[in-house]
Amino acid sequence: MGSYLVTGGAGFIGSHLVDRLIDENDTTVIDNLSSGNIEFINTKASFLKKDLLDIDDILIDFKDIDTVFHIAANPDVKLSSVDTKTHFDQNIVATYNVLEAMRKNDIPKIVFTSSSTVYGRAPMPTPEDYGPLVPESIYGASKLACEGLISSYCNTFGIKSWIFRFANIIGERSNHGVIPDFIQKLRANPLELEILGNGKQSKSYLYIGECLDQILFAFSNSNDKVNIFNIGSEDQITVTKIAELVSNKMRLSPKFRFTGGDVGWKGDIPKMRLSIDKLKDLGYAPKYNSFDSVKKTIGELLND
Ligand code: NAD
């Protein structure tokens, strides 16, 4: 039994995490509902509608917490090609505030959701000790800055951290990324589907249920000062293949219209696959590949 605080617990990943933690732990959610949904929050959790950017308001809520799962962020990678400020505020400043609230309340552990985007264009499968880390997007840069802040708080103030670098995480309740985007576009126009880039972008996807299995396994089986793990599947799937799977499931045959270029947006990368050998070396057995993760997610998002 622990006393856990989950930031972003009304969002896609955070709400699934709370569902996993709630039966055995006292769980409090902080979320400003900017992209989260109040209906996703487990009714057994305590919910505080607060903004992490208001440090004076959140300080008190960190009292007597064992572990902070800091999941809240602006997760929209594409946004940083047109808006340079949001990820700085919502990711870097918010994480600094969380760390300050932890330091002032002597909280010993933080779990943080980082991203494959910290690696930039890296050889694949990319291991956790790959470097130098040269992100392409401002989103990736913001996650790398958060990792740096967390590492420094661990070394300076004796906090322990688990930093998880995610591949694309997908499943029920997700409302951003390629699958919800295709579903939304096809509902608006069943005859034509716009695909960003040349459709050959090839990335790794992981179903939310297994994402949480990997996180909770690593959290229970590692105990360094700073524990960094990739979270993902061991293969890749192209954007065009995902477009075909979504179209087939919706029983549509749209014309695909590619916007061109080898990436979807400025700051995107064409290929991504993470090594999960570190997790496997601890005894973890992977379950889902990218194809199965994508198929299951399409079914769930279409309520099938
Ligand atoms: P999401 O948008 O569904 O969840 C984020 C939650 O944080 C939302 O409920 C939102 O309301 C809340 N939030 C945002 N800013 C806040 C603030 N200032 N104060 C309080 N609450 C705030 O996104 P998600 O896909 O569930 O992503 C969760 C985490 O995982 C994020 O840190 C994201 O960067 C990271 N991540 C996600 C993926 C993915 O594929 N989904 C990949 C890599 C990393």
| Residue 80 alpha carbon to ligand 1 centre in Å | 15
For residue 270, the model assigns a pLDDT of: 96
Share of residues in the chain with pLDDT > 90 (%): 98
90 lines ligand 1 (CB under 6 A): yes
| Confidence band of 82 (pLDDT split at 50, 70, 90) | very high
| Residue 20 alpha carbon to ligand 1 centre in Å | 17
Q: What's the rounded mean pLDDT across residues 269-286?
A: 98
Q: What's the rounded mean pLDDT across residues 248-261?
A: 97
Share of residues in the chain with pLDDT > 70 (%): 100
Distance (Å, whole) CA 267 – CA 237? 20
Q: What's the rounded mean pLDDT across residues 133-140?
A: 97
Q: Which amino acid does the sequence have at 139?
A: Y
Q: What's the rounded mean pLDDT across residues 10-16?
A: 98
pLDDT higher than threshold 90 for residue 104: yes
Q: Which of 16, 18, 20, 32 is the pocket-test mutation for ligand 1 (most atoms within 8 Å of CB)?
A: 32
Question: How do residues 160-195 score in pLDDT, each as one tens digit?
Answer: 999 999 999 999 999 999 999 999 999 999 999 999
For residue 260, the model assigns a pLDDT of: 96
Q: What's the rounded mean pLDDT across residues 255-283?
A: 96
For residue 74, the model assigns a pLDDT of: 97
Q: Which of 34, 74, 118, 137 is the pocket-test mutation for ligand 1 (most atoms within 8 Å of CB)?
A: 34
Residue 30 near residue 9, CB atoms below 8 Å:
yes
Q: What are phi and psi of 20, to 5 degrees?
A: -75, -35
pLDDT higher than threshold 80 for residue 83: yes
> Angle 239-249/290-301 helices, nearest 10 degrees?
40
Residue 30 near residue 6, CB atoms below 8 Å:
yes
Contacts within 8 Å (CB) and 24+ apart, 242-245: 242/178, 242/179, 242/182, 242/294, 243/182, 243/193, 243/195, 243/199, 245/294, 245/295, 245/298
What does the mean pLDDT of the chain come to?
97
Distance (Å, whole) CA 164 – CA 211? 10
Distance (Å, whole) CA 2 – CA 278? 26
- Secondary structure percentages of the chain, helix, strand, coil, to 5: 40, 20, 40
Q: Which atom of ligand 1 is nearest to the CA of 70?
A: 32
Query: Which of 96, 119, 139, 153 does the annotation list as catalytic?
Result: 139
10 lines ligand 1 (CB under 6 A): yes
Q: Report the relative pairing of strands 168-170 and 160-166 from DSSP bridges.
A: unpaired
| Confidence band of 1 (pLDDT split at 50, 70, 90) | confident
Q: Tokens 């749209």 identify what position? A: 254
Distance (Å, whole) CA 21 – CA 28? 10
As a whole number of angstroms, the longest Cα–Cα distance in the chain is 57
| Confidence band of 258 (pLDDT split at 50, 70, 90) | very high
pLDDT higher than threshold 90 for residue 128: yes
Whole-prediction pTM: 0.98
Q: What is the 3-state secondary structure (H, E, C) of 59-111?
A: HHHHCCCCEEEECCCCCCHHHHHCCCCHHHHHHHHHHHHHHHHHHHCCCCEEE
For residue 198, the model assigns a pLDDT of: 97
For residue 107, the model assigns a pLDDT of: 98
For residue 252, the model assigns a pLDDT of: 98
| Known active-site residue 4 | no
Q: Which amino acid does the sequence have at 72?
A: A
Contact partners, residue 213, CB within 8 Å, separation at least 6 = 284, 287
| Residue 252 alpha carbon to ligand 1 centre in Å | 31
Distance (Å, whole) CA 165 – CA 155? 20
Conformation bin of residue 219: beta by default, left when phi > 0, alpha when psi is -120 to 50: alpha
